[in-house]
Chain A
Amino acid sequence: MLRQIEGSRAVAETVALCRPEVVCAYPISPQTHIIEAVGVMVKEGRLSPCEFINVESEFAAMSVAIGASATGARAYTATASQGLLYMMEAVYNAAGLGLPIVMTLANRAIGAPINIWNDHSDAMAVRDSGWIQLFAETNQEAADLHVQAFRLAEELSVPVMVCMDGFILTHAVEGVDLLDQATVDAFLPPYDPRQVLDPANPVSIGAMVGPEAFMEVRYLAHLRQLDALHRIPAIAEEFFETTGRRSGGLVRPYRTEGADTIVVAMGSVLGTIKDAVDIRREAGEKIGVVGITSFRPFPSLEVREALRHATQIVVLEKAFSIGHGGVLATDVAMALQGTPCVIREVVAGLGGRPITRQSLVKLFYRASQGELGSLLFLDLEHDVVDREVSRMRATRRSGPSAENVLRDLGATRGEGALS
């Protein structure tokens, strides 16, 4: 049923169709609307049986989910940004224990400086935790991915994080075709846990593992993610057969046929990129785009297959590893080892900086002209940076950069500086 609906609401409705048994909630923008909506459904009795638990922190949220999942309940929570970092220890723990928790991550920048807007820094911070990380391009996909996520998580006993861009998706109202309960029930069988806390069949879960077996435990976790590389497309295919919708999967190429330049990106920005690609294609440029849905596990083979005929790869990402460069770009480069492809890293949209079609069209034009360097920060205010850099050179104590930058920006725009 197609409804004009906020992204958060669409996700909440879909999560409810997945019959989560324990949902833990702690407010943090921009995921709050999801958890609020689930809470209402539980309180109304529309989602039952389900325990909706208002916890005291994200650390508790993930911990409650761990306990619930280990006791055989389907567990769900949602978070973002600082919240993800605050629960990080438990995030790793859930993966280490192999608990099939599903969590929505409404992607948001990480402070300081505190910033509530979208980028992918939070997801990148837990990249190595052992969670499967799926990135939604649209609200429709965000909703659909949750159904697939529970299925995948429980098949493999691995937690799955569904990443959707904060505000851009979570707060956007657009048409989403919500599934019906029968469809979801048919697609998602009840949770049959691999291990469960049960007095009738007691086991010790969470042992201390020393050097004699830790490597093996980690390797086995890796193997499970490699399994996921098979299961993710298979589940997406089955989802397509059930619903007629293409959601999920590993990678999603768009107009890559015969492309010299291919743009790689994740999340909602793919929509804007596709528009820009269309414009450049109309201009005769051989350019395409590959969206990556599964960031972890990283589908190296599929990425390589999708990109290897191009000469230039532009990896546009909403995060970067300070002091190094792109995170996704590094993974793409690994996938393309031994090919002649040139990789251009473009960092864009940090802290909610808009990524406009205009900027992208200009970027792709420059790419076609071979003007891109190896690392580029899209729409960076170079004047501001330069001024701060020179100030920093003048004195070792130049005050906090963030305030200085804001002051400069204010001056530039003729507004009052922050006092």
Chain B
Amino acid sequence: MTKRPIRFYQVGSFAVGNRLLSEGDRTVQSDPSRTNSIDSGHRACQGCGEALGARYALDAAMRATNNQLVAVNATGCLEVFSTPYPETSWRIAWLHSLFGNAPAVATGVAAALRVKGHTEVRVVSQGGDGGTVDIGFGSLSGMFERNDDVLYICYDNEGYMNTGVQRSGATPPAARTATTDVVGPQPGNAFGQGKDLARIAMAHDLAYVATATVADLHDLEAKVERAMQFRGARYLHVLVPCPLGWGTASSETIHVARLAKETGMFPVFEAEFGVVTSVSKIRHPTPVEEYLKVQKRFAHLFGKNPRPEMVAHLQELANRNIERYGLLDRAEPASGVVSGEEPA
């Protein structure tokens, strides 16, 4: 995307829309006629990051494909809260098969579309982090490797939330889950484990791999749009905080996602053909402590028996991200800056 620098401060790049922006520079979400891929009445918890992230991504994909989109969904929160018989909240063509096979099902969908000549219809496959980095990983890697024409979107809430908050391969170190309880000498999830799926996806030499959060809508939408400019397998990893699993107030969903990015805990970047092409710079460098402290799943690191060495270890991990992706390089403009209207 070509981004012209913004010419004014008030709205700029980060709000959903603004009367001062030209229609084309507003987000899809600001459009009253957006698809609302997930309709009202879904049963997600208050402040669900996944419900939000999925609507953001799919509405953008709908716009990018001129509404020629079908979606395949892995089992998980997103599926359960959206389609309890007799109600569905999906407004798009949607298929759910199993927990671990969404990428393969999407391969089949894409193959069917190709064989029938409906190449204008694009396929999104989506799942939570469990369905993506764990149980669906083999299937995902197969889809990547075959370079099937599927955009896979992982809504990462860092655990098995649907089953009651258990650890996944995307759960961060030290986090409390029901299967990494805060007991014993090393409370919470172990250090030195976990799967960095965006980098694994890059290792498949995909045309496009990106990460995003629900905290920067412009960035997320731009990435969906960019992803849709490619054919073949593509991967988008979206951080979607879970108020239940993370122990945050329902109102803090976007805020905590922002902190994840601003602390470097969750690097936001994009890569084409295995090479990082852009990163979202940290606007306000923030110690990880500020990110951790707002989440009850990290409460055992503070309070009566604080574990400063574990906080320091997490800070090291954030620093590694900052260094690896150059998140603090201030030479370039902050990502997410979109064009602004020149005053007449």
Task: Bin chain A's interface residue count.
Answer: 35 or more
Task: Decide: A67 and B116 in contact? CB cutoff 8 A.
Answer: no
Task: Decide: A56 and B139 in contact? CB cutoff 8 A.
Answer: yes
Q: How far is the CA of A349 from the CA of B20 in the complex (A)?
A: 79
Q: A67-B106, A72-B116 given as contacts; is B142 within 8 A of A206 (CB)?
A: no
Q: A56-B138, A56-B142, A199-B69 given as contacts; is B111 within 8 A of A68 (CB)?
A: yes
Task: Decide: B115 and A207 in contact? CB cutoff 8 A.
Answer: no
Over the window 109-150 of chain A, the binary record of Cβ atoms lying under 8 Å from chain B Cβ atoms (1 yes, 0 no) is: 000000000000000000000000000000000000000000
Contact pick for B111, options A57, A73, A204, A205, CB 8 Å: A73
Task: Decide: B83 and A204 in contact? CB cutoff 8 A.
Answer: yes
Task: Decide: B109 and A202 in contact? CB cutoff 8 A.
Answer: no
Task: Decide: A203 and B139 in contact? CB cutoff 8 A.
Answer: no
How close is B201's CB to chain A, nearest CB, in angstroms?
15
Task: Decide: A202 and B112 in contact? CB cutoff 8 A.
Answer: no
Over the window 41-85 of chain B, the binary record of Cβ atoms lying under 8 Å from chain A Cβ atoms (1 yes, 0 no) is: 000000000000000000000000001111011000001101111
Residue of A nearest to B90 (CB): A204
B107 CB within 8 Å of chain A: yes
Question: Which residues 241-272 in B have Cβ within 8 Å of A in the complex?
Answer: none
User: Which residues on B sit within 8 Å (CB–CB) of A213?
Assistant: 85-86
Question: Which residues 36-78 in A have Cβ within 8 Å of B in the complex?
Answer: 49-51, 53-57, 59-60, 63-73, 75
B275 CB within 8 Å of chain A: no
Residues of B within 8 Å of A, CB-based: how many?
46
Query: Which of B92-100, B171-179, B216-224, B321-329 forms contacts with chain A?
Result: B92-100
How close is B72's CB to chain A, nearest CB, in angstroms?
6
Task: Decide: B112 and A199 in contact? CB cutoff 8 A.
Answer: no
Over the window 118-129 of chain B, the binary record of Cβ atoms lying under 8 Å from chain A Cβ atoms (1 yes, 0 no) is: 000100000000
Contact pick for A63, options B67, B84, B97, B113, CB 8 Å: B97
Task: Decide: B116 and A55 in contact? CB cutoff 8 A.
Answer: no
User: Which residues on B sit within 8 Å (CB–CB) of A72?
Assistant: 112, 116
How close is A356's CB to chain B, nearest CB, in angstroms?
42
A93 CB within 8 Å of chain B: yes
How close is B301's CB to chain A, nearest CB, in angstroms?
36
Task: Decide: A54 and B97 in contact? CB cutoff 8 A.
Answer: no
User: Which residues on A sit within 8 Å (CB–CB) of B146?
Assistant: 53-55
How close is A208's CB to chain B, nearest CB, in angstroms?
5
How close is A250's CB to chain B, nearest CB, in angstroms?
31
B145 CB within 8 Å of chain A: yes
Task: Decide: B80 and A90 in contact? CB cutoff 8 A.
Answer: no
Contact pick for A198, options B84, B88, B93, CB 8 Å: B93
How close is B36's CB to chain A, nearest CB, in angstroms?
12
User: Which residues on A sit within 8 Å (CB–CB) of B142?
Assistant: 55-57, 60
User: Which residues on B sit within 8 Å (CB–CB) of A67?
Assistant: 72, 95, 97, 104-112
User: Which residues on B sit within 8 Å (CB–CB) of A97?
Assistant: 97
How close is B21's CB to chain A, nearest CB, in angstroms?
29
Q: How far is the CA of A276 from the CA of B125 in the complex (A)?
A: 55
User: Which residues on B sit within 8 Å (CB–CB) of A207?
Assistant: 83-85, 88, 96
Q: A67-B97, A67-B104, A67-B105 given as contacts; is B84 within 8 A of A51 (CB)?
A: no
User: Which residues on A sit within 8 Å (CB–CB) of B100?
Assistant: 59, 89
Q: How far is the CA of A93 from the CA of B80 in the complex (A)?
A: 16
How close is A47's CB to chain B, nearest CB, in angstroms?
11
Task: Decide: A197 and B85 in contact? CB cutoff 8 A.
Answer: no
A236 CB within 8 Å of chain B: no
Task: Decide: B108 and A71 in contact? CB cutoff 8 A.
Answer: yes
B91 CB within 8 Å of chain A: yes
Task: Decide: A205 and B94 in contact? CB cutoff 8 A.
Answer: yes
Q: How far is the CA of A56 from the CA of B107 in the complex (A)?
A: 12
Q: How far is the CA of A394 from the CA of B88 in the complex (A)?
A: 61
Q: A60-B139, A67-B104 given as contacts; is B109 within 8 A of A206 (CB)?
A: no
Task: Decide: B93 and A199 in contact? CB cutoff 8 A.
Answer: yes
How close is A157's CB to chain B, nearest CB, in angstroms?
15
User: Which residues on A sit within 8 Å (CB–CB) of B96?
Assistant: 204-207
Q: How far is the CA of A344 from the CA of B86 in the complex (A)?
A: 48
User: Which residues on A sit within 8 Å (CB–CB) of B145?
Assistant: 56
A381 CB within 8 Å of chain B: no
Task: Decide: B107 and A197 in contact? CB cutoff 8 A.
Answer: no
Over the window 200-220 of chain A, the binary record of Cβ atoms lying under 8 Å from chain B Cβ atoms (1 yes, 0 no) is: 011111111110110000000
Q: A57-B138, A71-B70 given as contacts; is B83 within 8 A of A49 (CB)?
A: no
User: Which residues on A sit within 8 Å (CB–CB) of B98?
Assistant: 63, 89-90, 93
Q: How far is the CA of A207 from the CA of B112 in the complex (A)?
A: 22
The 8 closest A-B pairs by CB, nearest first: A67-B108, A206-B96, A56-B142, A73-B112, A63-B104, A71-B112, A63-B101, A67-B105
Apart from A56-B139, A75-B112, 14 more pairs, CB < 8 Å: A53-B107, A53-B108, A55-B104, A60-B107, A64-B104, A64-B108, A67-B72, A71-B112, A72-B112, A201-B93, A204-B82, A204-B94, A204-B95, A208-B83
A-B contact pairs, 8 of them (CB 8 A): A60-B101, A63-B107, A64-B111, A70-B108, A73-B111, A202-B93, A204-B88, A206-B79
**A residues bordering B, Cβ < 8 Å?**
21-22, 24, 49-51, 53-57, 59-60, 63-73, 75, 89-90, 93, 97, 197-199, 201-210, 212-213
